[in-house]
Amino acid sequence: MEKAEIINWLKETESSKQETLWREADIVRKNSVGDAVHLRGLIEASNICSRRCRYCGINADQGSNIPRYRMTYDEMIDCAQLAMDYNYGSIVVQAGEDPGLTTELIERFIKWVKDHTSLAITLSLGERDEDEFVRWHNAGADRYLLRFETSNQRLYENIHPPLKCQKHVNRFDILKQLKDIGYETGSGVMVGIPGQSHEILANDILSFKELGLHMIGIGPYIPHPQTSLGKGENLICISNKEQVPNSQEMTCTVLALTRINCPETNLPSTTALSTLSNEGREQGLKCGGNVIMPNLTPLKYRKLYEIYPAKSCIKEDAQEFHNQIKKRIESIGRTVGKGRGDSVKFLSCH
Ligand code: SAH
Protein backbone atom coordinates (compact mmCIF):
# COMPACT_ATOMS: atom_id res chain seq x y z
CA MET A 1 0.00 0.00 0.00
CA GLU A 2 1.03 3.57 -0.60
CA LYS A 3 1.42 5.86 2.41
CA ALA A 4 -1.61 7.96 1.43
CA GLU A 5 -3.83 4.87 1.38
CA ILE A 6 -2.57 3.78 4.81
CA ILE A 7 -3.27 7.25 6.20
CA ASN A 8 -6.79 7.18 4.77
CA TRP A 9 -7.48 3.86 6.46
CA LEU A 10 -6.08 5.13 9.77
CA LYS A 11 -8.42 8.11 9.56
CA GLU A 12 -11.46 6.00 8.65
CA THR A 13 -14.06 6.18 11.42
CA GLU A 14 -17.04 4.48 9.79
CA SER A 15 -17.31 1.09 11.45
CA SER A 16 -18.66 -0.77 8.39
CA LYS A 17 -15.60 0.34 6.40
CA GLN A 18 -13.21 -0.54 9.24
CA GLU A 19 -14.76 -3.98 9.38
CA THR A 20 -14.20 -4.45 5.65
CA LEU A 21 -10.49 -3.81 6.20
CA TRP A 22 -10.32 -6.18 9.18
CA ARG A 23 -12.02 -8.91 7.10
CA GLU A 24 -9.58 -8.38 4.26
CA ALA A 25 -6.67 -8.75 6.73
CA ASP A 26 -8.23 -11.96 8.05
CA ILE A 27 -8.25 -13.40 4.52
CA VAL A 28 -4.62 -12.36 3.94
CA ARG A 29 -3.69 -13.98 7.28
CA LYS A 30 -5.45 -17.22 6.33
CA ASN A 31 -3.77 -17.39 2.93
CA SER A 32 -0.27 -16.54 4.14
CA VAL A 33 0.14 -18.09 7.61
CA GLY A 34 -2.96 -20.28 7.94
CA ASP A 35 -5.38 -20.87 10.79
CA ALA A 36 -2.87 -21.94 13.45
CA VAL A 37 -2.51 -19.70 16.51
CA HIS A 38 0.95 -20.13 18.03
CA LEU A 39 1.25 -20.00 21.80
CA ARG A 40 4.37 -18.45 23.35
CA GLY A 41 4.83 -18.69 27.10
CA LEU A 42 5.80 -15.29 28.48
CA ILE A 43 8.34 -15.12 31.32
CA GLU A 44 8.72 -11.67 32.87
CA ALA A 45 12.16 -12.31 34.33
CA SER A 46 12.88 -8.98 36.07
CA ASN A 47 11.22 -5.61 36.68
CA ILE A 48 14.54 -3.94 37.45
CA CYS A 49 15.31 -1.34 34.80
CA SER A 50 18.01 1.23 34.18
CA ARG A 51 15.95 3.09 31.56
CA ARG A 52 13.59 6.02 31.98
CA CYS A 53 11.13 5.30 29.15
CA ARG A 54 8.38 7.79 29.84
CA TYR A 55 5.51 5.42 28.98
CA CYS A 56 6.59 2.50 31.12
CA GLY A 57 5.38 1.82 34.67
CA ILE A 58 8.53 -0.05 35.75
CA ASN A 59 11.02 2.56 34.53
CA ALA A 60 13.96 3.60 36.72
CA ASP A 61 12.20 6.85 37.80
CA GLN A 62 9.73 4.75 39.83
CA GLY A 63 12.72 3.84 42.02
CA SER A 64 11.62 1.78 44.96
CA ASN A 65 7.97 2.92 44.69
CA ILE A 66 7.49 -0.54 43.29
CA PRO A 67 9.14 -3.57 44.87
CA ARG A 68 11.77 -4.84 42.47
CA TYR A 69 12.39 -8.50 41.65
CA ARG A 70 14.63 -10.64 39.52
CA MET A 71 13.69 -14.28 38.96
CA THR A 72 16.29 -16.84 39.93
CA TYR A 73 17.73 -19.24 37.41
CA ASP A 74 15.67 -22.06 38.95
CA GLU A 75 12.45 -20.04 38.77
CA MET A 76 13.10 -19.37 35.09
CA ILE A 77 13.66 -23.09 34.50
CA ASP A 78 10.34 -23.85 36.26
CA CYS A 79 8.59 -21.50 33.82
CA ALA A 80 10.22 -23.21 30.82
CA GLN A 81 9.13 -26.55 32.24
CA LEU A 82 5.57 -25.26 32.51
CA ALA A 83 5.67 -24.22 28.84
CA MET A 84 6.66 -27.80 27.97
CA ASP A 85 3.88 -29.23 30.17
CA TYR A 86 1.37 -27.03 28.33
CA ASN A 87 2.78 -28.04 24.94
CA TYR A 88 3.70 -24.50 23.95
CA GLY A 89 6.21 -24.26 21.12
CA SER A 90 8.26 -21.41 22.49
CA ILE A 91 9.00 -19.09 25.38
CA VAL A 92 9.63 -15.37 25.49
CA VAL A 93 11.95 -14.03 28.19
CA GLN A 94 11.12 -10.37 28.71
CA ALA A 95 12.43 -7.91 31.30
CA GLY A 96 13.41 -4.36 32.10
CA GLU A 97 16.91 -3.43 31.03
CA ASP A 98 18.51 -5.15 33.99
CA PRO A 99 22.30 -5.59 34.01
CA GLY A 100 21.76 -8.15 36.79
CA LEU A 101 20.38 -10.47 34.10
CA THR A 102 23.97 -11.05 33.13
CA THR A 103 25.26 -12.39 29.85
CA GLU A 104 26.28 -15.58 31.64
CA LEU A 105 22.97 -16.11 33.48
CA ILE A 106 20.94 -15.77 30.29
CA GLU A 107 23.43 -17.91 28.37
CA ARG A 108 23.22 -20.67 30.99
CA PHE A 109 19.43 -20.55 30.87
CA ILE A 110 19.35 -20.74 27.06
CA LYS A 111 21.68 -23.75 27.13
CA TRP A 112 19.52 -25.53 29.70
CA VAL A 113 16.40 -24.99 27.61
CA LYS A 114 18.15 -26.17 24.44
CA ASP A 115 19.54 -29.28 26.18
CA HIS A 116 16.31 -30.28 27.90
CA THR A 117 13.41 -29.09 25.74
CA SER A 118 12.33 -28.51 22.14
CA LEU A 119 11.24 -24.93 22.84
CA ALA A 120 12.25 -22.01 20.66
CA ILE A 121 13.55 -19.10 22.74
CA THR A 122 12.75 -15.46 22.19
CA LEU A 123 14.58 -12.80 24.17
CA SER A 124 13.23 -9.31 24.85
CA LEU A 125 15.73 -7.76 27.24
CA GLY A 126 16.09 -4.30 25.72
CA GLU A 127 19.16 -2.69 24.19
CA ARG A 128 22.13 -4.91 24.95
CA ASP A 129 25.64 -5.09 23.50
CA GLU A 130 26.29 -6.76 20.19
CA ASP A 131 28.66 -9.33 21.74
CA GLU A 132 25.87 -10.40 24.12
CA PHE A 133 23.46 -10.82 21.20
CA VAL A 134 26.07 -12.98 19.47
CA ARG A 135 26.78 -15.10 22.56
CA TRP A 136 23.10 -15.73 23.23
CA HIS A 137 22.51 -16.62 19.60
CA ASN A 138 25.47 -19.01 19.68
CA ALA A 139 24.02 -20.56 22.85
CA GLY A 140 20.79 -21.29 20.96
CA ALA A 141 18.51 -18.23 21.31
CA ASP A 142 16.28 -18.14 18.24
CA ARG A 143 14.49 -14.82 18.29
CA TYR A 144 14.84 -11.27 19.63
CA LEU A 145 12.12 -8.67 20.13
CA LEU A 146 12.86 -4.96 20.37
CA ARG A 147 10.08 -2.56 19.53
CA PHE A 148 11.28 0.63 17.86
CA GLU A 149 8.22 2.28 19.50
CA THR A 150 8.03 5.01 16.84
CA SER A 151 9.85 5.75 13.60
CA ASN A 152 9.69 9.48 14.30
CA GLN A 153 13.01 10.66 15.76
CA ARG A 154 11.58 13.65 17.64
CA LEU A 155 8.81 11.61 19.25
CA TYR A 156 11.25 8.81 20.08
CA GLU A 157 13.59 11.22 21.84
CA ASN A 158 10.64 12.62 23.77
CA ILE A 159 9.46 9.28 25.13
CA HIS A 160 12.74 7.38 25.41
CA PRO A 161 15.52 9.42 27.04
CA PRO A 162 19.05 8.05 26.59
CA LEU A 163 21.04 6.63 29.47
CA LYS A 164 23.38 9.13 31.15
CA CYS A 165 26.64 9.36 29.15
CA GLN A 166 25.00 7.68 26.18
CA LYS A 167 24.19 9.15 22.82
CA HIS A 168 20.86 8.18 21.35
CA VAL A 169 21.15 4.63 20.13
CA ASN A 170 19.19 3.97 17.03
CA ARG A 171 16.94 0.94 17.53
CA PHE A 172 16.76 0.49 13.76
CA ASP A 173 20.52 -0.14 13.76
CA ILE A 174 20.13 -2.73 16.53
CA LEU A 175 17.35 -4.47 14.59
CA LYS A 176 19.59 -4.74 11.53
CA GLN A 177 22.36 -6.09 13.76
CA LEU A 178 20.02 -8.75 15.17
CA LYS A 179 18.95 -9.81 11.69
CA ASP A 180 22.56 -10.05 10.53
CA ILE A 181 23.46 -12.24 13.52
CA GLY A 182 20.71 -14.60 12.40
CA TYR A 183 17.88 -13.96 14.84
CA GLU A 184 14.26 -14.14 13.85
CA THR A 185 13.73 -10.46 14.51
CA GLY A 186 10.70 -8.70 15.94
CA SER A 187 9.75 -5.12 16.59
CA GLY A 188 6.65 -3.02 16.94
CA VAL A 189 4.97 0.09 18.28
CA MET A 190 2.29 1.29 20.66
CA VAL A 191 -0.85 2.78 19.15
CA GLY A 192 -1.94 6.20 20.39
CA ILE A 193 1.12 7.47 22.28
CA PRO A 194 0.78 11.23 22.84
CA GLY A 195 2.30 13.00 19.86
CA GLN A 196 1.66 10.14 17.41
CA SER A 197 -0.07 11.43 14.27
CA HIS A 198 -1.66 9.34 11.53
CA GLU A 199 1.28 10.13 9.28
CA ILE A 200 3.84 8.98 11.87
CA LEU A 201 1.91 5.74 12.38
CA ALA A 202 1.71 5.18 8.60
CA ASN A 203 5.50 5.57 8.48
CA ASP A 204 5.80 3.00 11.28
CA ILE A 205 3.81 0.49 9.20
CA LEU A 206 5.94 1.19 6.14
CA SER A 207 9.05 0.69 8.33
CA PHE A 208 7.81 -2.77 9.40
CA LYS A 209 7.81 -3.72 5.75
CA GLU A 210 11.14 -2.10 4.96
CA LEU A 211 12.85 -3.85 7.87
CA GLY A 212 11.47 -7.21 6.71
CA LEU A 213 10.46 -8.13 10.26
CA HIS A 214 9.56 -11.68 11.20
CA MET A 215 7.44 -10.65 14.20
CA ILE A 216 5.54 -7.43 14.88
CA GLY A 217 4.06 -6.55 18.28
CA ILE A 218 1.33 -3.91 18.30
CA GLY A 219 -0.78 -2.85 21.26
CA PRO A 220 -2.62 0.25 22.43
CA TYR A 221 -0.69 2.73 24.58
CA ILE A 222 -2.19 2.56 28.08
CA PRO A 223 -1.26 5.57 30.23
CA HIS A 224 0.36 4.68 33.53
CA PRO A 225 -0.57 7.34 36.12
CA GLN A 226 2.86 7.18 37.82
CA THR A 227 4.80 7.98 34.65
CA SER A 228 5.53 11.48 33.35
CA LEU A 229 3.85 10.65 30.03
CA GLY A 230 0.82 9.28 31.89
CA LYS A 231 0.67 12.50 33.92
CA GLY A 232 0.66 14.51 30.71
CA GLU A 233 4.02 16.23 31.28
CA ASN A 234 6.15 17.56 28.39
CA LEU A 235 3.87 16.30 25.68
CA ILE A 236 4.60 16.96 22.05
CA CYS A 237 1.64 19.11 21.13
CA ILE A 238 -0.38 18.09 18.15
CA SER A 239 -4.03 18.86 17.54
CA ASN A 240 -6.76 16.46 18.69
CA LYS A 241 -7.55 15.88 15.04
CA GLU A 242 -4.00 14.75 14.29
CA GLN A 243 -3.56 12.62 17.44
CA VAL A 244 -4.07 8.87 16.92
CA PRO A 245 -6.51 7.51 19.54
CA ASN A 246 -5.33 4.60 21.71
CA SER A 247 -8.58 2.72 21.11
CA GLN A 248 -9.40 -0.91 20.43
CA GLU A 249 -10.71 -0.05 16.95
CA MET A 250 -7.55 1.84 16.02
CA THR A 251 -5.36 -0.99 17.28
CA CYS A 252 -7.34 -3.47 15.18
CA THR A 253 -6.95 -1.25 12.13
CA VAL A 254 -3.18 -1.05 12.67
CA LEU A 255 -3.01 -4.83 13.07
CA ALA A 256 -5.00 -5.27 9.87
CA LEU A 257 -2.86 -2.83 7.88
CA THR A 258 0.26 -4.54 9.18
CA ARG A 259 -0.99 -7.97 8.13
CA ILE A 260 -1.92 -6.69 4.67
CA ASN A 261 1.46 -5.01 4.19
CA CYS A 262 3.56 -7.78 5.80
CA PRO A 263 1.54 -10.92 4.97
CA GLU A 264 3.99 -13.53 6.27
CA THR A 265 4.92 -11.98 9.58
CA ASN A 266 3.98 -13.42 12.97
CA LEU A 267 1.58 -11.00 14.62
CA PRO A 268 0.49 -11.42 18.24
CA SER A 269 -2.88 -10.40 19.57
CA THR A 270 -1.34 -8.59 22.55
CA THR A 271 -2.10 -8.48 26.25
CA ALA A 272 -2.42 -4.68 26.00
CA LEU A 273 -5.28 -5.13 23.50
CA SER A 274 -6.98 -7.65 25.78
CA THR A 275 -6.69 -5.12 28.62
CA LEU A 276 -9.11 -2.84 26.73
CA SER A 277 -11.82 -5.49 26.45
CA ASN A 278 -12.54 -9.09 27.43
CA GLU A 279 -12.85 -10.01 23.78
CA GLY A 280 -9.58 -8.27 22.89
CA ARG A 281 -7.60 -11.45 22.23
CA GLU A 282 -10.22 -12.84 19.84
CA GLN A 283 -10.61 -9.44 18.24
CA GLY A 284 -6.87 -9.24 17.52
CA LEU A 285 -6.88 -12.74 16.04
CA LYS A 286 -9.76 -11.80 13.75
CA CYS A 287 -8.02 -8.81 12.18
CA GLY A 288 -4.67 -10.31 11.29
CA GLY A 289 -3.21 -11.83 14.49
CA ASN A 290 -1.83 -15.38 14.62
CA VAL A 291 0.01 -15.52 17.97
CA ILE A 292 -0.99 -15.39 21.66
CA MET A 293 1.45 -15.05 24.52
CA PRO A 294 0.04 -16.68 27.67
CA ASN A 295 1.77 -15.39 30.79
CA LEU A 296 3.77 -17.97 32.74
CA THR A 297 5.30 -15.55 35.27
CA PRO A 298 4.64 -16.69 38.86
CA LEU A 299 1.65 -14.74 40.23
CA LYS A 300 3.68 -13.20 43.07
CA TYR A 301 5.84 -11.37 40.49
CA ARG A 302 3.20 -10.69 37.92
CA LYS A 303 1.58 -7.75 39.69
CA LEU A 304 5.03 -6.16 40.00
CA TYR A 305 5.57 -6.20 36.24
CA GLU A 306 2.99 -3.50 35.72
CA ILE A 307 4.31 -1.71 32.64
CA TYR A 308 0.77 -0.32 32.32
CA PRO A 309 -2.10 -0.45 34.81
CA ALA A 310 -4.66 -3.27 35.01
CA LYS A 311 -2.78 -5.60 32.74
CA SER A 312 -5.44 -8.15 31.87
CA CYS A 313 -3.27 -11.05 33.01
CA ILE A 314 -2.38 -9.82 36.50
CA LYS A 315 -4.65 -12.25 38.30
CA GLU A 316 -4.78 -14.79 35.51
CA ASP A 317 -3.52 -18.12 36.75
CA ALA A 318 -1.36 -19.79 34.06
CA GLN A 319 -3.20 -23.11 34.42
CA GLU A 320 -6.64 -21.49 34.23
CA PHE A 321 -5.72 -19.44 31.16
CA HIS A 322 -4.23 -22.51 29.55
CA ASN A 323 -7.46 -24.46 30.14
CA GLN A 324 -9.51 -21.80 28.38
CA ILE A 325 -7.31 -20.63 25.58
CA LYS A 326 -7.74 -23.69 23.34
CA LYS A 327 -11.54 -23.34 23.55
CA ARG A 328 -11.34 -19.62 22.88
CA ILE A 329 -9.15 -20.18 19.81
CA GLU A 330 -11.41 -22.93 18.48
CA SER A 331 -14.55 -20.87 19.12
CA ILE A 332 -13.47 -18.50 16.34
CA GLY A 333 -12.68 -21.31 13.91
CA ARG A 334 -8.93 -21.41 14.50
CA THR A 335 -6.55 -24.13 15.67
CA VAL A 336 -3.77 -24.23 18.25
CA GLY A 337 -0.42 -24.21 16.43
CA LYS A 338 1.86 -27.20 16.73
CA GLY A 339 5.64 -26.97 17.03
CA ARG A 340 7.79 -23.86 17.39
CA GLY A 341 5.73 -21.59 15.16
CA ASP A 342 8.71 -20.17 13.31
CA SER A 343 7.96 -17.26 11.06
CA VAL A 344 7.07 -18.34 7.52
CA LYS A 345 9.01 -15.32 6.33
CA PHE A 346 12.13 -16.38 8.26
CA LEU A 347 11.93 -20.00 7.10
CA SER A 348 11.59 -18.98 3.45
CA CYS A 349 14.99 -17.19 3.63
CA HIS A 350 16.94 -19.73 5.72
N1 SAH B 1 12.73 -3.59 28.29
C2 SAH B 1 12.29 -4.24 27.09
C3 SAH B 1 10.87 -4.80 27.21
C4 SAH B 1 9.86 -3.71 27.40
S5 SAH B 1 8.20 -4.20 27.70
C6 SAH B 1 12.41 -3.28 25.94
O7 SAH B 1 12.50 -2.07 26.14
O8 SAH B 1 12.42 -3.74 24.79
C9 SAH B 1 7.60 -4.53 26.10
C10 SAH B 1 6.78 -3.44 25.42
O11 SAH B 1 5.68 -3.03 26.22
C12 SAH B 1 7.50 -2.15 25.16
O13 SAH B 1 8.37 -2.27 24.06
C14 SAH B 1 6.37 -1.16 24.93
O15 SAH B 1 6.06 -1.04 23.54
C16 SAH B 1 5.19 -1.82 25.69
N17 SAH B 1 4.73 -0.90 26.75
C18 SAH B 1 5.47 -0.33 27.72
N19 SAH B 1 4.72 0.55 28.44
C20 SAH B 1 3.47 0.51 27.90
C21 SAH B 1 2.26 1.21 28.15
N22 SAH B 1 2.16 2.13 29.13
N23 SAH B 1 1.18 0.92 27.40
C24 SAH B 1 1.25 -0.01 26.42
N25 SAH B 1 2.38 -0.68 26.10
C26 SAH B 1 3.48 -0.42 26.83
pTM of this prediction?
0.97
Residue 311 has pLDDT above 90, yes or no: no
Query: Which helix (H) or strand (E) element contains residue 124?
Result: strand 120-124
Q: Which residue, judged by its Cα, is nearest atom 13 of ligand 1?
A: 147
Residue 167 has pLDDT above 80, yes or no: no
Name 70's bridge partners. 46
Model confidence over 114-146: pLDDT tens digits? 999 999 999 999 999 999 999 999 999 999 999
From the list 29, 44, 84, the residue with the least C-alpha distance to 269 is 29
Tell me the C-alpha distance between 21 and 23, whole Å: 5
Report the separation in Å between the CA atom of 193 and the middle of ligand 1, taken as the mean of its atom positions. Answer: 12
pLDDT for 25 equals 98
Model confidence over 268-280: pLDDT tens digits? 999 999 999 989 9
From the list 198, 252, 155, the residue with the least C-alpha distance to 4 is 198
Q: Which residue, judged by its Cα, is nearest atom 18 of ligand 1?
A: 56
pLDDT for 127 equals 95
Report the separation in Å between the CA atom of 53 and the middle of ligand 1, taken as the mean of its atom positions. Answer: 9
Residue 164 has pLDDT above 80, yes or no: no
Q: Which residue, judged by its Cα, is nearest atom 2 of ligand 1?
A: 126
Q: Which residue, judged by its Cα, is nearest atom 24 of ligand 1?
A: 221
How many residues in total does the chain contain? 350
Mean model confidence pLDDT for the chain: 95
Ligand 1 atom with the smallest distance to the CA of 145 is 8
Quote the DSSP letter at residue 160.
Answer: S
Q: How confident is the model at residue 193 (pLDDT cuts 50, 70, 90)?
A: very high
Report the separation in Å between the CA atom of 333 and the middle of ligand 1, taken as the mean of its atom positions. Answer: 30
